[in-house]
Amino acid sequence: MTGRRLGRRLMSWRLARRLARRLPGLLLLAGAAVLASFLASHALPGDPVMLMVDGRAADPEMIRSLREDAGLDQPLAIQFLSYALALLRGDLGQSLRYGGVPVTALLGDALPVTLGLMAGAAALALPLGLALGLAAADVRRAWPGTALTIGSVLALSVPPLALATWLMLAGSGTAPWAVAALALPAAAMIARLTRIQVLEVLGRDFIRTARAKGLGRIAVLLRHALPNALVPLAAAVGSVAGTILTTTAAVETVFALPGIGRLTVQAVLARDHTVAGAAVLVFVLMQVSISLTAELLIGLADPRLRDDAESP
C-alpha cells in the first residue's frame, strides 16, 4: 500500500514538473493575449464615443467629456496600462452597444452556452472519431477502410460555416444539430489521427505475438493497439479542442446561440470595442486552458510515467 502511495506521489510530482515547464510559455501567451485583445479592440473601425451617443445630437463639450471619462484622451501606452490593471481587478469595462452593461455580465451569460456546446461536441466527437479510426485501421485494405478515409478528408475540407448552414437547414436550427456541426470536423480529425497511430502500432512485434497467441482482431485492437496509440492521440487533444473552439463562432452565429462566439461577431459588427477585446481575451485564455489540459492528458497516458511510478 505504501509503495502504491509513493508511486502515485512520484507520478503526481512528474506531472506537476511537466506542467511547470510549460507554464512560462503559457503565461507569456496569456500576456500576449492581453496585448492582442487591447490592440484588436482599438483596431476596430469607428469612434467608441460616437457609439456611446448612438446617433444622438451631442455637442463637442459632451463628446470631449465622454472621451475623458473613458480614458480615450490618454496616450495608447497609458490606455493599455489602465486596461491591464483593470483586468487584474477583474474589471473588463462596460459595453458600448448595451448602454454601459458590464462586460463581465455579458460574458457570464454567454460562456455557459459555449462551454455546453463544446462539451457536447467533445462527448460526440471522441467516441465517434475513435470508432471510425479503429475501423479504418482494421479494414484498411478493403473498400470500407478507403471510404472511411475519404469521408474523414471530406469532412475536414468542408468550411465550418458551410457545414453549420447545411445542418441548420436540415435540422430546423435545433441545438443538437449545432453540436453535430462542431463535432463532425473534430471526429474526422480524431479518426484520421487514430488510424495513423493504430496502423503504426499494428506493425510492431508485440502485436504479431498477440495474434500468434490466438487473440482476435477486436481484442488486439482494443487491448494492445489502442492503448499504445493513446500518447500521440493525447498530444493531439489540444489541436482537436482548438478546432472545436475556433468553430464555435460560426456555429453559434448560424444557429443564433447566445454564446461567446456569437457575442464576438455581434461586438465586431457593432464596433463595440470593449466587448470584442474581452471576448478575444477569453478565447485565448480558453485555448491556454485547453493546452494545459492536453499536457496533463499526455502525462497520464504516457506509460513511462506509469511504469516509473509503479516500480519499487
The string of pLDDT tens digits covering residues 11-38 is 567 667 766 777 777 678 777 777 777 7
Cell numbers found for residue 6: 509513493
What is the model's pLDDT at position 85?
81
Q: Are 145 and 134 in contact (CB under 8 A)?
A: no
DSSP string over 279-301: HHHHHHHHHHHHHHHHHHHHHHH
pLDDT tens-place string over residues 77-89: 888 888 778 777 7
Burial string for 140-170 (b: 16+ CB within 10 Å, else e) reads beeeebeebbeebeebeeeebeebbbebbee
What secondary structure does DSSP assign to 109-142, as a single string?
HHHHHHHHHHHHHHHHHHHHHHHHHHHHHHTTTS
Out of 4-13, 86-95, 159-168, pick the least confident: 4-13
Neighbours of 300 (CB within 10 A): 14
Instruction: Sketch out the chain's domains with CATH numbers.
Output: 2-96 (no CATH), 102-306 (1.10.3720.10)
Q: How far apart are the first and last CA of the chain?
A: 12
Distances (CA, A) of 84 to 14, 38, 106, 230, 272: 34, 9, 19, 40, 18
What integer best gives the mean pLDDT of the chain? 75
pLDDT, one tens digit per residue, over 186-227 is 888 888 888 888 877 777 777 777 777 777 777 777 777 777
Q: Residue 112 — pLDDT band, cuts 50, 70, 90?
A: very high
